[in-house]
Amino acid sequence: MSLQRCINTLISHLPGEYAVISPGSRNAPIIYALENSAKTCQSIIDERSAAFVALGIAKQSKQPVILCCTSGTAAINFYPAIAEAFYARVPLIVLTADRPAEQIDAWDGQAIRQKGLYKNHVRAEFQTTDNYEDEISFKDIALRVSNVLSTEIAGPIHINVPIREPFYHFTSEGLSESLLANYIPPSITRIKVESLAHHFNWDLQFKKVLVFNGMQDGEQVEIENEENTVILSDITSNRISKISYWDAMLFSGISKENGLDFLAVLRPDILITTGTTTVSKGLKKFLQHYKPPVHVHLSAYDEVGDMFGTSPIILNPKVISHINSAHHDSSKIQGSAYLHAWTNLSNEFQSRFAKLDWSSFNEFCAVNYILSKLPNEAVLHVSNSMPVRYVSYLHNNELTKITMYANRGTSGIDGSTSTAVGHALTVSEDVYLITGDIAFFYDINGLFNTALPTNLKIIILNNSSGGIFEMIEGPDLLGDALKYQTTPHSYTAENLAKHFKLGYYKGDTLGSFAKGMDKLIQSKTASILEIFTSQESNIEFYSSFKKL
């Protein structure tokens, strides 16, 4: 038996169609096995970027993606994306080559304590043996990985692989077709509110029922759009909302003095949630203040974040998906007063919202224009900080055909470009990314890819700083120290676009921005549209929005 045959056996029995490989020496046997398997491989040099590329592929394909690197700090650089995948419930299979145990802490190169490296942010972890006569144990680990993926919450799984020298002896023995069919992505479970009422013996005739769909990267649960039901959906859920601009309305409300009193009429009696987190600070503040007496979270798993402080009851949706309560009048929402309360407040807010000067040139108005111009059924990634907030505030029922993604598991700015690159690598349609300048420059290595997809369209909001810290309450109290948060700069992406051979369009006026947007949409190559706004105009418009 040989090392390579054991590695081949492991790779052959791991599920998933795609693999992202970062170069190295110690992981050469894994690289060989991946390249000679049935898996589609991508080479990404920077491990931090590579892991986010794998995240993007996994988000799009709904399949586990193998991630491979050499030993040492290379494995540490995977960690930000692993943490994101853990909280976003995205399946990754992380293969880290390692040194044999006797070389750890022996002053050897590229030898760190890798066993258990990600233990707080993986669904399972395994260590292969360095006894290369035990091929069965390698197959057993692969089968255990498949079992975890099939039965546990989706997320990253770590396999640490100690590899002894010599390891540059290759053979194809043990390689067989990938067992992709062993992994079945979660299907959508559809639930009626009436079925929940029947299960819990609720009398809904006079109840205010609020349904909220959080981020849906992992488990897929959908509440059916029934008459008189109020449904709100986070932009990352890609589910319908009954109320347009609900996040903007709630945020504007809580931004006012006594604004929560104004929203009291919207307090629910029953809250039903699916998915995980939300972009909306307004919804969190609203429900933390007006806690519903009953909160049911639909999930097959016991792990739920109590972001509203409502101590939710967890219910497996499969328990009630078969219930037909059509003949139980008490389980139907009879009145429409609660829906009308939401609709009326929304309509009042939208009339004020529309009176803002949307023809002015600032980030908020730019994002509004971008969303109106994106093609139907576009794929849109949004970086964290202000861009994701703008998109959430502007989301309305006319944008439901746009599929939206954001790294909201940990909500960091790192990896937004790389995640969008990963998504674009696996589809033919254009993939758009709206990103802030700091997030873009932070993830420059997302473009360090010899196979950069031509269908990638990047839109940068460049305000020459981390502008969010001048938009939110608190940082202004720092005085002269504020510059350490906002990190003002004078960089542009123009030369980077030339360096990476991307198309480049510039918008520093309304006219040039509109022309640049048209050119970006029409472009047949990977391209950047960089929008330059003054932070003063951004702050002025955002302040007007909060006062509505």
pTM of the model: 0.94
Residue 68, pLDDT above cutoff 80: yes
Q: Say whether pLDDT at 482 is over 60.
A: yes
Greater confidence (172 vs 331) lies with 172
Considering the domain 3-182 in this protein, what is its CATH number?
3.40.50.970
> Would you give the DSSP letter of residue 526?
-
Distance CA 193, CA 121 (A): 34
Tell me the two tokens of residue 61. Answer: 């394909």
Q: How confident is the model at residue 22 (pLDDT cuts 50, 70, 90)?
A: very high
For 36-63, what is each residue's pLDDT tens digit?
A: 998 999 999 999 999 999 999 999 999 9
- The more confident residue out of 431 and 548 is 431
Contacts of 60 (CB under 8 A, 6+ apart): 422, 423, 426, 427
What pLDDT is recorded for position 96? 98
* Rounded-to-integer distance, Cα 422 and Cα 35, Å: 18
Query: What's the confidence (pLDDT) of residue 177?
Result: 60
Three-state SS at 235: helix
Closest CA to 531 of 418, 454, 411, 440: 440
Q: What pLDDT is attached to residue 221? A: 86
Q: What is the pLDDT of residue 11?
A: 96
Percent of the chain past pLDDT 70, that is, above it, reads: 95
As beta bridge partners, residue 527 has: 457, 503
Question: Predicted confidence band at 334 (pLDDT cuts at 50, 70, 90)?
Answer: low
Q: Which of 126-135, 241-250, 253-262, 392-401 has the highest mean pLDDT?
A: 241-250
Q: What is the mean pLDDT of the chain?
A: 92
- pLDDT on residue 322: 67
Query: 103 near 120, Cβ under 8 Å?
Result: no
The predicted structure's pLDDT at residue 275: 94
- Mean pLDDT for 206-215 is 92
Would you state the pLDDT for residue 255? 73
The alpha-helical segments, DSSP class H, found in 44-203 are 47-61, 73-76, 79-88, 135-151, 193-200
Report whether pLDDT(501) > 90: yes
Contact yes or no for 111/41 (Cβ under 8 A): no
The percentage of residues in the chain with a pLDDT greater than 90, rounded to a whole number, is: 73
**Phi and psi at residue 371, in whole multiples of 5°?**
-65, -35
More confident residue, 421 or 330: 421
Poorest-pLDDT segment among 107-116, 214-223, 390-399, 422-431: 214-223
The answer to whether the beta carbons of residues 145 and 157 sit under 8 Å apart is yes
> In a 10 Å sphere around its CB, with 0-12 CB exposed, 13-18 middle and 19+ buried, how is residue 429 labelled?
exposed
Asked which of 31-45, 155-169, 476-490 is least confident by mean pLDDT, the reply is: 476-490
Alpha helix positions (H), 437-482: 437-442
293 band by pLDDT with thresholds 50, 70 and 90: very high
Instruction: Taking the CA atoms of 190, 340, 249 and 369 in sequence, report the sign of the dihedral they define.
Output: positive
pLDDT tens per residue across span 119-155: 999 999 999 998 888 889 999 999 999 999 998 999 9
Instruction: Assign 93 a pLDDT band (cuts: 50, 70, 90).
Output: very high
Token duo for residue 80: 């930000």
The architecture (CATH level 2) of 356-546 comes to: 3-Layer(aba) Sandwich (3.40)
The residue with greater pLDDT, 321 or 341, is: 341
Question: Mean pLDDT over residues 156-180, rounded?
Answer: 86
Q: How does residue 327 score in pLDDT terms, banded at 50, 70 and 90? A: very low
**Structural domain boundaries in the chain:** 3-182, 189-349, 356-546
Strands (E), 235-325: 270-274, 294-298, 313-315
Q: What class, spelled out in words, does domain 189-349 have in CATH?
A: alpha beta
Q: For residue 484, what pLDDT is reported? A: 85
Contact 431, 423 (CB under 8 A): yes
